[in-house]
Amino acid sequence: MTTDGPHRLDVAMGQRIRERRRALGMSQGDLARALGITFQQVQKYERGANRVSFSRLMQVVDALNCHLTDLTEGLDPDRPTRDIDQVRRLIAEDGAYELLEAYAALRSKPLQRALLQHAKVLAGTSGAG
């Protein structure tokens, strides 16, 4: 933790764990049981309040049936904090996470583009094209 709270990379890792867990339809309790810890500890990991050790991270990867790079790819200690803060603000909006899940569930790139374009038109941020 920093004097201002959890380190942004710990928060980002926790968000990725939460996103993967939710994508699998797994509860915090399910993940906790798979890791042999309490669901409160999973909550702390997902908030970034507690750091995930490397050995625990490897257990998480196994429990979430993914690769380490699925959780770590793109995490850059030099990336400006404001970028991560902006993503955190956006994802905290009501319905944003659900919209992102729906988008990711579309297996067709043309459908994904259509959904994105429709959302932009509704928001008034883009015209046709």
Shared domain check, 106 and 57:
no
Same domain, 46 and 14: yes
Query: What domain range is 8 assigned to?
Result: 1-77
Residue written as token pair 């049981």 = 33
Q: What is the mean pLDDT of each run of 10 residues along the chain (129 residues)?
A: 74 90 92 96 93 96 94 74 72 85 88 89 71
Helix (H, G, I), strand (E, B) or coil at 117: helix
Question: Is 45:14 a contact under the CB 8 Å cutoff?
Answer: yes
User: Would you say residue 83 lies in a domain?
Assistant: no
What is the domain count for the chain?
2
Q: Is the same domain home to 28 and 67?
A: yes
Which residue, among 67, 123, 53, has the nearest Cα to 93 in the 3D structure?
123
The pair of three-digit structure tokens given for residue 97, joined into one six-digit string: 């996470």
> Whole-structure pTM over 0.95, yes or no?
no
User: Could you report the per-residue pLDDT of 54-78, keeping only the tens digit for each?
Assistant: 999 999 999 999 999 989 887 776 6
What per-residue confidence (pLDDT) applies to 3?
Answer: 62
